[in-house]
């Protein structure tokens, strides 16, 4: 029997399915085409497995199993693969209605600005920043931990937060 390093758990409080490491530390949300909130969380009689199956397809469950069981998988690798999978599963997140302004908004300091979900964002090779309307400047929001960030992968990361 192999020692599983990562697994999918349910968080009833957050109403989401998460990939966690062996110690139970959050890694990333499990990628699914349907939103996790679509599960019948209010139905306490429904087993967690049924909730999971209600929002994920057999193909998605296999994809997640392949991601978390890859030999030598690291937290960063799991996170990157899950974010990439989520972007593929939810094309509207990767081809958003407001196109990311990559070419016209890429600055000499390697920060890229774009709009998503009605907010103005900026990122570089390590950080994600959010525009503060009052101060009229970007403020640190999170470390995205993406090895080769693009507007689409950063949008998928934002949608996972």
pLDDT tens, 73-106?
Answer: 888 889 888 888 887 777 554 343 333 433 335 5
What pLDDT is recorded for position 105? 53
Asked whether residue 107 falls in the same domain as residue 84, the answer is: no
Where does a domain end: 48, 68, 89?
Answer: 89
Contacts of 36-40 spanning 24+ positions with Cβ under 8 A: 39/15
pTM of the model as a whole: 0.57
- pLDDT for 1 beyond 70: no
Looking at the domain assignment, is residue 95 inside a domain? no
- How does strand 112-116 pair with strand 26-29? unpaired
In this structure, the answer to whether residues 65 and 110 fall within a common structural domain is: no
Q: And the tokens for 153?
A: 């992968």
Residues 60/50, Cβ–Cβ less than 8 Å: no
For residues 107 and 149, state if they share a domain.
yes
If asked whether residues 77 and 115 sit together in one domain, one would say no
């Amino acid at each position: 029997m192999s020692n599983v390093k990562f697994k999918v758990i349910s968080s009833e409080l957050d109403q989401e399915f998460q990939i966690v490491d062996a110690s139970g530390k959050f890694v990333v949300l499990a990628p699914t085409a349907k939103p996790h909130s679509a599960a019948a969380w209010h139905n306490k009689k429904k087993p967690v497995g049924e909730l999971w199956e209600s929002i994920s397809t057999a193909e998605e469950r296999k994809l997640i199993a392949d991601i978390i069981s890859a030999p030598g998988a690291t937290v960063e690798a799991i996170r990157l693969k899950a974010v990439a999978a989520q972007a593929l599963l939810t094309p509207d997140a990767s081809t958003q209605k407001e196109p990311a302004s990559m070419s016209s908004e890429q600055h000499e300091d390697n920060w890229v600005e774009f709009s998503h979900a009605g907010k103005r964002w900026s990122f570089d090779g390590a950080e994600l920043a959010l525009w503060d309307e009052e101060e009229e400047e970007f403020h640190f929001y999170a470390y995205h931990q993406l090895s080769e960030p693009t507007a689409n992968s950063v949008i998928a990361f934002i949608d996972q937060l």
